[in-house]
Chains A and B, each alone.
Chain A
Amino acid sequence: MLFHKLLLCLMLVPLMASAITVQDDRGEPVQLSRPAERVASVSTFGADLLLALGMKPAAITRFGPFDQPDYLAGSLQGVPVIGSRSQVNMELLSEVAPDLVLAIRRYTEKDASRFAEIAPYAALNLVTLNDSIRAVSIAGELVGRTVDAEQINRSFQRQLETYRKQAPGGLSAALLVTGGEAPFIYYDHFLTAELLNWLNVDNLGGELSEPEQGLPLGYRIRLEDLLKQNPDVIFLFESNKERAFTQNPIWPYLKAVRRGQVYEVGQHWKEAAGPIARSLVLQEMAHRLYPELFTMPELPESLRSKPYR
């Protein structure tokens, strides 16, 4: 009798241990009764992490209808697209019937209750390097692969340290996103800019004293001011329109432009929080900054960084 009770208790323990509660970036508890298997990834982060763990998301989002497939496209054949990261099609989300939703906080927090009706909703900041590391842990725990997720984080930390030791430094760079006449430049705390710092490169965006939720990500800078600081390398983020500020008469006077050190980079640089993306960006960035020391990683042609004009 006692033996049977003991057996029952022993069987219950794993059942209880499977119930997962994690705090997301809002500080809200995300509760699952067992590890998530069908994850709706509202943003590329979720899909990225799942693929790194050898899983596949149940649904993904794209940037927009005029969009090119991103760096994960090859592995995501057959995964339904349910809208864009800021405007999710709720009907399709409901149809997919996920058991977890991973989303970017600043775009989707207002609809939190609607997401929560369909599946447990985890809001992630995904702005800084710390956000990325924490997000990998959180998501890893939610899919029941805590150990593997920690392993992913640790290996990335090691990669960062290796690169830091090897990078000679002494360069400055700017990350520019199209913003009409005045381009938008990212602050230090933005993930991609933090990677610059790890490579001993000075990010001209500068520091922001008190980011709230990591916002704002950056600011608009006049080309005259950019000329004063004159970065050695410029990385231009993806745009579907001709960049107005490159028509500005000041543009050809920039050191980086004269030396041909302006590179157009793939879309994944904008949202590099996923484990695959952040490693790729680090490697590609290092290659562009110090071409003799680091080699270009494996990437399909459409996603490689290219010298601008």
Chain B
Amino acid sequence: MNKVGVTPAVCWMLLPLAIVLGLLLSLSFGASSLSIEQVFGALIGNGNEHGERVVWELRLPRAVLATVVGLHFALSGCMLQALSRNPLADPGVLGISAGASLLAVMLVVGASMLPIGTSFNLQGDQLLAWLPWGALAGGILAALGVYLLSGSARLTPLKLIVTGVVCAAVLNAIMTGVLALWGQAHTETLVAWLAGSLHGRDWHHLWVILPWTLVGLIGVVITLRPLGLLRLNDEQVLSLGLDLGRWRLLVLLVATLLAASAVAVAGPIGFVGLVVPHIARGLVPGNLPHQLGISALLGALLVLVADLAGRTLVVPFELPVGVLCALIGVPAFLYLLKQQP
């Protein structure tokens, strides 16, 4: 039954190990060269100030955040692909990332224009502290809009995809317009954010996203069985007595929360939600629960590795993780798509 001959159990064992390895590598490598003893020493609290700072304040939160963000995007993509019965869907395609980015941009540009902004001493770049909440709200609003425009309870997967694509294009256009007209002073910082970046992320960002991870995981568990059934066509689902409209809405909600919260802390990183579910489907075809889990682990691994590469390739500068995910993801995507039956 499994073409590749890989049982789920093997994946479940290997992937977590790979992630742990990735984490260790992330702790050991970076712009500043630390020896293994220094890293180890810092971990057990025995290191010098520099080592401890680099490991505990800079690398560890960032690496953990990378895995969490990757998990979010991959899970979201997997759910959306099942929901829309289309292997080419992901939060970016459906406009969620675009909505999040738009609100984030509007927040930065708007606050520096209003008198309130300056009185709170939120001159331009300080506002980056508020971006997560703006992005979260934006993503949810965009998903809501797409949902309503696709017909709400009467939504079909086809309508969802097409509406999503168009909404994404329109939202991106509005964002570019806002930036062009009013955002002159902030382009440098915002463009970096819009590329999807983990630079300067620390424990604070992790605390912002973890509650949503919990919510998302609970949501996945709740919608697990209906999600498997939603992949069948509508008549079959209805004959099984499933309330199509309600479950579709719930799945969309969970996927949106996962994606929007990830965009909130890392900016819109594309391709993770698109490519990883494909790989998972290739490894464990037909088995949705396992696909979800393996997608999550694979997504975490991908973003972790991408961030590590981005941090170490052009020292002292950094490549945004979004760019690296695209560079890794697209060739993989092209290859997989041609392999699929």
**A→B interface (CB under 8 Å):** 64-65, 80-84, 86-87, 89-92, 94-95, 97, 106-107, 109-111, 114, 117-118, 179, 184, 212-213, 215-216, 220
Question: Which single residue of chain B is at the shortest CB-CB distance from A65?
Answer: B317
Q: Does B189 contact A (CB under 8 A)?
A: yes
**Is B314 in contact with A94, judged by CB distance below 8 angstroms?**
no
Given A84-B317, A215-B124, 19 more contacts at CB 8 Å? A65-B314, A83-B317, A86-B188, A87-B200, A87-B317, A90-B58, A91-B32, A91-B54, A91-B58, A92-B315, A94-B50, A94-B54, A95-B32, A106-B124, A110-B125, A111-B200, A118-B53, A215-B123, A216-B184
Q: Does B328 sit at the interface, judged by CB under 8 A?
A: no
Q: Roughly how many angstroms separate A97 CA and B185 CA in the complex, as a whole number?
A: 32
Are A87 and B129 closer than 8 Å at their CB atoms?
A: no
Size bracket of the B interface:
20 to 34
**Contact across chains for B118 and A110 when beta carbons are under 8 A apart:** no
Q: Is the CB of A83 within 8 A of B125?
A: no
How far is the CB of B9 from the nearest CB of chain A, in Å? 39
* Nearest chain B CB to A69 CB, angstrom units: 15
For A95, the chain B residues whose CB sits under 8 A away are: 32, 50, 54
Binding site for A on B (CB under 8 A): 30-32, 50, 53-54, 57-59, 118, 123-126, 128-129, 184-185, 188-189, 192, 199-200, 202, 314-318
Main secondary structure of the interface of B (DSSP, over half): helix
Bound CA–CA A84/B316 (angstroms): 8
Nearest chain B residue, comparing its CB with the CB of A107: B125
List chain B residues, Cβ under 8 A from A114. Answer: 57, 200, 202
Q: Is the CB of B185 within 8 A of A89?
A: no
Q: Which residues of A contact B123 (CB under 8 A)?
A: 106, 109, 212-213, 215
Closest-by-CB residue of A relative to B180 is: A180
How far, in angstroms, from A222 to B202 measured CA to CA in the complex?
Answer: 42
A216 to B199 CA separation, bound complex (whole angstroms):
26
The CA-CA distance from A110 to B30 in the complex, in Å, is 23
State the Cβ distance, A206 to closest chain B Cβ, in Å: 17
Q: Enumerate chain A residues within 8 angstroms of B32, measured Cβ to Cβ.
A: 91-92, 94-95
Contacting residues, chain A, for B50 (C-beta < 8 A): 94-95, 97
